[in-house]
Amino acid sequence: VTIRNYKTGLEKNKANYVPLSPVTFLKRTADIFPNYTSIISENNKFTWKSTFTRCKLFASSLKKRKIKKGDTVSIIAPNSSAMYEAHFAIPMIGAVINTINIRLDAKTVSFILTHSDSKIIFSDTEFLPIVKEALKISRQKIPIIFIEDDLNFSKNIKGDQSYEDFLKEGKLEDYKFDLIIEDEWFPISLSYTSGTTGNPKGVVTHHRGAYLNSISNHLIWNMKKNPVYLWTLPMFHCNGWCFPWTIAALSGTNICLRKIDSKEIFRLIKKYNVSNLCGTAVIINMLISEGTKLDHRVEFMTGAAPPPVSVLKKIEEQGFNITHTYG
pLDDT tier at 7 (50, 70, 90 boundaries)? low
Dist. CA 293–CA 315, nearest whole Å: 9
Q: Can you give the CATH number for the domain in which 306 is found?
A: 3.40.50.980
My answer on whether 284 and 175 are in the same domain is: no
| Cα–Cα dist 157/165, whole Å | 14
227 located within any domain: no
* Number of domains making up the chain: 2
Query: What is the DSSP code string of 25-92?
Result: HHHHHHHHSTTSEEEE-SS-EEEHHHHHHHHHHHHHHHHHTT--TT-EEEEE-SSSHHHHHHHHHHHH
185 and 289 co-located in one domain? no
Whether residue 3 lies inside any domain: the answer is no
Question: Which of 189, 206, 223 is the endpoint of a domain?
Answer: 206
Residue where a domain stops, chosen among 206, 228, 251:
206
Angle at 235 between CA 148 and CA 275, to 5 degrees: 105
Please compute, for residue 98, the number of CA atoms within 13 A of its CA located in the half-sphere on the CB side: 25
Ramachandran category for residue 311: left, alpha or beta (phi over 0 → left; psi -120 to 50 → alpha): alpha
Indicate whether 154 and 280 sit together in one domain: no
SS3 of residue 17 by DSSP: coil
Q: Are residues 202 and 265 in the same domain?
A: no
Selection from 239, 278, 238, 272 nearest residue 253 by Cα = 272
**220, part of any domain:** no
Coil, helix or strand at residue 264: helix
Distance separating alpha carbons of residues 168 and 171, to the nearest angstrom: 8
The answer to the question of residue 284 being in a domain is: yes
**Sign of dihedral through CA atoms 105, 110, 116, 118?**
positive
Q: Give pLDDT, residue 2.
A: 64
- Please indicate, yes or no, whether residues 199 and 61 belong to a single structural domain of this protein: yes
Q: Are 272 and 138 found together in one domain?
A: no
pLDDT in tens, 166-214: 999 999 887 776 777 889 999 999 999 988 888 999 999 999 999 999 9
**Span 31-54, pLDDT tens digits:** 999 999 999 998 899 999 999 999
pLDDT band, very low/low/confident/very high, at 327 (cuts 50, 70, 90): low
How far apart, in whole angstroms, are the C-alpha atoms of residue 182 and residue 175?
Answer: 18
Are residues 286 and 187 both part of a single domain?
Answer: no
The pLDDT score that the predictor gives to residue 177 is: 67
Number of Cβ within 10 Å of residue 202's Cβ equals 14
Residue 80 belongs to a domain: yes
pLDDT digits (tens, 9 = 90+) for 302-326: 988 888 999 999 999 999 999 999 7
Q: CB count, 10 Å around CB of 34?
A: 15
Residue 244 is assigned to a structural domain of this protein: no
> What's the pLDDT score for residue 175?
72
> 51 and 177 share a domain?
yes
Residue 22 lies in a domain: no
CATH number assigned to the domain comprising residue 100: 3.40.50.12780
Residue 94 lies in a domain: yes
Domain that holds residue 150: 47-206
